[in-house]
Structure 1
Amino acid sequence: MNQKFLIQLLKTASPSGEEVEIQKKWITYVKEFADEIRTDPIGNAIAVLNPDAEFKVLLAGHSDEIAIMINRMDDDGFLFFEKVGGLNPKSAVGMRVTILGTKRTITGVIGVNAQHHGGLKGDFDVDDLFIDCGFQSKEEAEQHIQIGDMGVYKTEPEILMDRYVAGRGLDNRTGAFIVAEVLRRLKERGCKVGVYAASTVNEETNMGGAYFAAARVEPTMAIACDVTFATDYPTVNKKKHGDVKLEGGPVLAKGAPIHSKINLLLENTAKDLEMDLQYELTPRMTGTDADRMRLTGKGVPVALVSLPLRYMHSPVETVSLQDMEEEIELLTTMIANLNGTENLNVLEV
């Protein structure tokens, strides 16, 4: 597993809607082993093996991260913002941010009312917060920032005890990393089917990237590679939210959107590899790219394989390197074992 490439992705700002820079880095990496690289006007990047194969497997990991968007400036140069995706305002308090200004990149801090002056009371939202970049007037701010400019938390990914990775936006740059690594290993190992590894855009805001990727590829089957809620840390109610833990193995979804035959292929592969799996329930929707991919064309059989993640949508999301390696190996082996004649129909007439 190429940890250097993973860290490179995690260090690259990729607000939902502004994924160009991270997609360029992803393409540079995968073009060394892909048979073909495809892009589209939406911003998706797709690396392909065996493009002439009739049976096509689409793997989708989204490259965008939650962010902020500047919506106004006051006369004193303080910036105000709204959420891009599911940003948690309580996690934002006191954080440094990188504003990807139209004219230049600017560092700011999300200010907070001192506890001596009353602090923040009860429930609050981003409307109650502001960014201090050191500007002294609106006129000065406008020299560097425009309304609509985006920003991300200014943090660096960290390796914890040589086993975990912590940082912002692991949801879901880890997925974009995983699909690239699966493709690389399949190139080395060989496979009989067409494989389309997609680094998709806009999942955190509208999931349009995955829809358009699946509509163009017209896959036989699709697997979304995302993250899901780990519940193995203090304060989480496991009776309500289930029991999912780091180093417990990849997580398969079960529910109406999920195709049972794809899950069976994954489960049989895990059994052969003597690999533990975990499960999450998605009875109606998954809340991931899988929901949009399955609605394209004549309908696409989909599955969702997720990485357990602590502290969702915070600046310190945390995942296990072991779980990541196991997910890569699970998907690689399952796809390598496909012969291209598999029947995914659940009804035999």
Structure 2
Amino acid sequence: VFIHGKKGIVKAVFGWPAIHTRIGNDKENQPKTENLWLDCGARNRKEVEDLGIHIGAVVTYQDGFDELANGNLVGRAFDNRIGGFMIAEVARLLKENKKTLPFGLYVVNAVQEEIGLRGAEMIARRIKPNIAIVTDVTHDTTTPMINKNIEGDVSTGKGPSLAYAPAVHNKLLGFVEQVAKDQQIPVQWRALSRSTGTDTDSFAYANDGCPSVLISIPLRYMHTTVEMLHKDDIENTIQLMYETLIQLTPKTNLSYL
């Protein structure tokens, strides 16, 4: 791992004793926050401080990015760095293709989604959007140990996932679905109860309510350092968001009446 200290990055490893050195009940211990430690090679407090390590220093995994067989990409924090990449690509396509939209467009990469959707909550209050198109990752349920009966049937390489959910506006969802059909973009479907667990929930219920839709990209091994995506899903998700923006107008009817 990398310890981000006051003098720069310090390399370290997680410490965990070999099984044949653990005695009694310790043999059954599982790694937890309270029993893990980092070994950076220092053997006393002064050596630690001399390296610039301090209480509260941020620790990140040492890892990289790689491409596996059949168009699969692997790396850390695709959730949700890939979302930031895709919305940036949508903005690039709009500019390069010289598209003029008949409405104002905010491209937002919101922070703190994992700890309470706080970035989305703040930006929704500030810009007061009329429509929100949200993108995030979703589980590839063909991953071992995931129950399709609970999580649904979604797989990498088969297109972005659309969802029915309380926070998802059905008319806007239908609009996106029609765009996908017209542009021959493959999509997959999920049904979510209560919350989506994404920034969609903040936008949908902000201010006086905001018609919102969630376009997710399937991901394997979420919240690990080896998250996995498929190239085709990235391209199709970008294309679906781009085409949706092109076809939206101020006259698009989202009324249920």
Amino acid at match of 1:323: D
Work out which of the residue numbers 14, 17, 20 in structure 2 matches 1:110: 14
Equivalent pair of 1:112/1:120 in contact (CA under 8 Å)? no
Equivalent pair of 1:220/1:301 in contact (CA under 8 Å)? yes
Quote the residue 2:59 is aligned against.
Answer: 151
Work out which of the residue numbers 222, 225, 232 in structure 1 matches 2:142: 232
For residues 206 and 149 of structure 1, the distance between their equivalents in structure 2, rounded to whole angstroms, comes to 23
* Deviation at residue 121 of structure 1 after TM alignment: 2.4
More strand by share: 1
Alignment of 1:290-301 (within 5 A): 290-301=200-211
Amino acid at match of 2:39: D
Work out which of the residue numbers 148, 167, 187 in structure 2 matches 1:277: 187
Secondary structure at 1:166 match in 2: strand
How many residues align? The count is 251
For residues 58 and 18 of structure 2, the distance between their equivalents in structure 1, rounded to whole angstroms, comes to 26
Quote the residue 1:206 is aligned against.
Answer: 116
Secondary structure at 1:193 match in 2: coil
**Please, which runs of 5 or more residues in structure 2 have no aligned partner?**
none
* Deviation at residue 109 of structure 1 after TM alignment: 0.8
Amino acid at match of 2:4: L
For residues 84 and 7 of structure 2, the distance between their equivalents in structure 1, rounded to whole angstroms, comes to 29
Alignment of 1:30-179 (within 5 A): 97-118=1-22, 121=28, 123-143=30-50, 144-161=52-69, 163-179=71-87
For residues 335 and 283 of structure 1, the distance between their equivalents in structure 2, rounded to whole angstroms, comes to 27
For residues 99 and 277 of structure 1, the distance between their equivalents in structure 2, rounded to whole angstroms, comes to 41
| CA spacing shift, 1:295–1:116, aligned 2, 3 Å | same
TM-score (norm 2): 0.91
Secondary structure at 2:109 match in 1: strand
| CA spacing shift, 1:164–1:120, aligned 2, 3 Å | farther
Equivalent pair of 2:186/2:236 in contact (CA under 8 Å)? no
Quote the residue 2:229 is aligned against.
Answer: 319
| CA spacing shift, 1:329–1:134, aligned 2, 3 Å | same
Work out which of the residue numbers 321, 335, 340 in structure 1 matches 2:245: 335
Deviations, residues 303-338 of structure 1 (Å, cap 9, x unaligned): 111110000111100001100100000010011011
Work out which of the residue numbers 83, 90, 95 in structure 2 matches 1:187: 95
For residues 105 and 214 of structure 2, the distance between their equivalents in structure 1, rounded to whole angstroms, comes to 16
For residues 263 and 122 of structure 1, the distance between their equivalents in structure 2, rounded to whole angstroms, comes to 47
* Deviation at residue 269 of structure 1 after TM alignment: 0.6
Quote the residue 2:172 is aligned against.
Answer: 262
Secondary structure at 1:298 match in 2: coil
For residues 116 and 148 of structure 2, the distance between their equivalents in structure 1, rounded to whole angstroms, comes to 29
| CA spacing shift, 1:276–1:176, aligned 2, 3 Å | same
Structure whose alpha-carbon radius of gyration is higher? 2
Equivalent pair of 1:257/1:283 in contact (CA under 8 Å)? no
For residues 285 and 207 of structure 1, the distance between their equivalents in structure 2, rounded to whole angstroms, comes to 12
The answer as to 2:155 corresponding to 1:242 is no
Amino acid at match of 1:100: H
For residues 249 and 232 of structure 1, the distance between their equivalents in structure 2, rounded to whole angstroms, comes to 14
For residues 274 and 122 of structure 1, the distance between their equivalents in structure 2, rounded to whole angstroms, comes to 52
Equivalent pair of 1:99/1:149 in contact (CA under 8 Å)? yes
TM-score (norm 1): 0.68
For residues 173 and 27 of structure 2, the distance between their equivalents in structure 1, rounded to whole angstroms, comes to 46
* Deviation at residue 162 of structure 1 after TM alignment: 5.9
For residues 120 and 303 of structure 1, the distance between their equivalents in structure 2, rounded to whole angstroms, comes to 48
Quote the residue 1:32 is aligned against.
Answer: none
RMSD: 1.7
* Deviation at residue 105 of structure 1 after TM alignment: 1.3
Amino acid at match of 2:33: V
Equivalent pair of 1:255/1:281 in contact (CA under 8 Å)? yes
Amino acid at match of 1:251: S
